[in-house]
Amino acid sequence: MLSGEFHTTYASDMALFETRRARRALAVFIVALFAIPFAGTSYWLDVANRAAIAVIAATGLNILTGYTGQISLGNAAFLAVGGYTTAFLANHGVPFLVACPASGVVAALAGMVFGIPSLRLKGLYLAMATLAAHFIVEFAASHWEAVTGGVAGISVPAPSVFGASFADDRRLFFLTVPICVGLLYFARNLFRTRVGKAFIAIRDQDISAEVMGVEVFRHKLLSFAVSSFYVGVAGSLLAYQARIISPENFPLALAIDYLGMIIIGGLGSVLGSILGAIFLTLLPEILRLGTSALSGSFPHLVQLFTPLKVGVFGLTIVLFLVFEPDGLADLWRRIRNWFRLYPFSY
């Protein structure tokens, strides 16, 4: 049983990581994370990179939907804005270190523009307004051929930082994961600040937030901007990772996937975004391994894989909503507490 941790100041009570032990565990975890590129095969590194990108995007969406309570179906569109900005800049010789944050900024601007309806709209209506953003961006992506390459897509050169090329997934891991860790750190910190707390106040009751002196519209727009920045950076990394992007990289189903990630992971929780994104990225891989292991005896299973993926995704969401509405993050908290308090669970 863990004991002897007392918070004697407000500062320590509000600290980012509650205990010294948590800090140590995290440090060990991050070091262990960087062992992956030396152990994994290139395909699993591709999966790891996709997971890291999904974590960034899901965290962005969680800031907007989980923390600020603004539902958005436009995140695939903001991902596309980030991706195409990167494609455009990178093809004009702009290096990674500029193109990646610039993509985040452009996506943040797009997010603010499409966030304007949130002044007036809430809930389902806002979902519809952001859905419009999705279709507008999708239309632009398939028809503004000079910039986006149209339906055939556009290729993106390999990212390079100070002359070092990050052409394959093994090397790219050293870009995606540090960026992911940095953005997660920022997100955790954000909710210890006035702005982050204003987001939460708006989610819980926007009228009382206004009464308490939170400028609701400004903070809603800010939330859209921060959220879209994250999603835009994820889009940029996605473009660098896939090396070719087309409108098919950003279907509406992807926006739903991200919502699924934060629902399964846990709304309003950074840890939830991480767990949900990793879970939903690994799910199809596990299904694929399962179907291909059985395809020797059932050759038609390969054909079932795509529909199976969609079916299992739907079933998972329903099951989580019913049995674990607070998501994987809460499940993790309970498991941790059980061990922490063992054997005196009361």
Partner 1 sequence: MRLILSALLSLCLAGSAQAQQEIKVGGIFDLTGITSDVGKPYAQGVRDGVAWTNENGGINGKKIRLVDVDYGYKIPEAVAAYKRMTGDEKVILINGWGTGDTEGLKAQVNQDKVPYISASFSAALTDPTKTPYNFFVGPSYSDGLRAWLRWVKEDWKDKSRNPKVAFFYGDNAYGKSPIEAGRRFCKDNGVDLVDEEIVPGAFQDATSQLLNMKQKGADYAYINVTTTGVSTILRDAKKLGLATKFGSNPYGFGEALPQIAAEAAEGVTGIMVDVPFGENVPGMKRLTDFHQKNHPADTHDTFYVRGWTYALVWTEALKRADKAGQLTGEGVKAALETFKNFDLGGLTEPVTYAPSDHRPTTTVNIYQIKEGKLTKAKKYDMDRRPDWLGL
Q: Decide if residue 12 touches partner 1 (CB under 8 A).
A: no
- Rule CB under 8 A: is residue 83 a binding residue for partner 1? no
Q: Residue 194 or residue 300: which is nearer to partner 1 going by CB?
A: 300
**Other CB atoms within 10 Å distance of the CB of residue 112:** 16
Q: Which stretch binds partner 1 (CB under 8 A): 78-86, 152-160, 183-191, 220-228?
A: 152-160
**Distance between CA atoms of 57 and 91, rounded to whole angstroms?**
24
Helix (H) or strand (E) holding 292: helix 270-294
151 makes contact with partner 1 (CB under 8 A) = yes
In the complex, the smallest distance separating the C-beta of residue 66 from partner 1, rounded to whole angstroms, is 26
**Contact call for residue 165 and partner 1 (CB under 8 A):** no
Phi, psi values for residue 244, rounded to 5°: -145, 130
Residue 158 CB neighbour total at 10 angstroms: 14
* Residue 302 engages partner 1 in binding (rule: CB under 8 A): yes
When binding is defined by CB under 8 A, the residue of 19, 91, 155, 160 that contacts partner 1 is 155
Applying CB under 8 A, does 248 fall inside the site for partner 1? yes
How many angstroms separate the most distant Cα atoms in the chain? 66
- The answer to the question of residue 236 lying near partner 1 (CB under 8 A) is no
One of 74, 153, 196, 260 touching partner 1 (CB under 8 A):
153
- What's the distance, Cα to Cα, between the start and end of the chain in Å? 12
Of 58 and 242, which has the nearer Cβ to partner 1? 242
Q: Does 305 participate in binding partner 1 (rule CB under 8 A)? A: yes
**Least separation in angstroms between CB 74 and partner 1:** 19
Report the DSSP beta bridge partners of residue 164: 161
- Interacting stretch for partner 1, rule CB under 8 A, among 92-100, 130-138, 243-251, 266-274? 243-251
* CA–CA gap between residue 79 and residue 95 (Å, rounded): 19
- Rounded-to-10 torsion of CA 318, 324, 325, 328: -100
Least Å distance, CB 174 to partner 1, is: 17
Say how many C-beta atoms besides its own lie within 10 A of residue 127's C-beta: 17
> For residue 137, what are its two tokens?
């961006």
Sign of CA dihedral 51, 89, 98, 174: positive
Residue 238 contacts residue 179 (beta carbons within 8 Å): no
Stretch that binds partner 1, among 18-26, 29-37, 146-154, 317-325 (CB under 8 A): 146-154
Q: Exactly one of 303, 314, 318, 342 binds partner 1 (CB under 8 A); which one?
A: 303
Question: Distance (Å, rounded) from C-alpha 59 to C-alpha 75?
Answer: 11
**Contact residue for partner 1 among 97, 119, 244, 318 (CB under 8 A):** 244
Work out which of 12, 42, 193, 205 binds partner 1, going by CB under 8 A.
Answer: 42
In this structure, what are the phi and psi dihedrals at residue 164, rounded to the nearest 5 degrees?
A: -90, 130
> In this structure, how many other beta carbons lie within 10 angstroms of the beta carbon of residue 266?
28
* Part of the chain binding partner 1 (CB under 8 A), chosen from 89-97, 110-118, 145-153, 333-341: 145-153
In the complex, the residues that contact partner 1 under the rule CB under 8 A are 41-46, 142, 151-153, 155, 169, 242-244, 246, 248-249, 293, 296, 302-303, 305-307
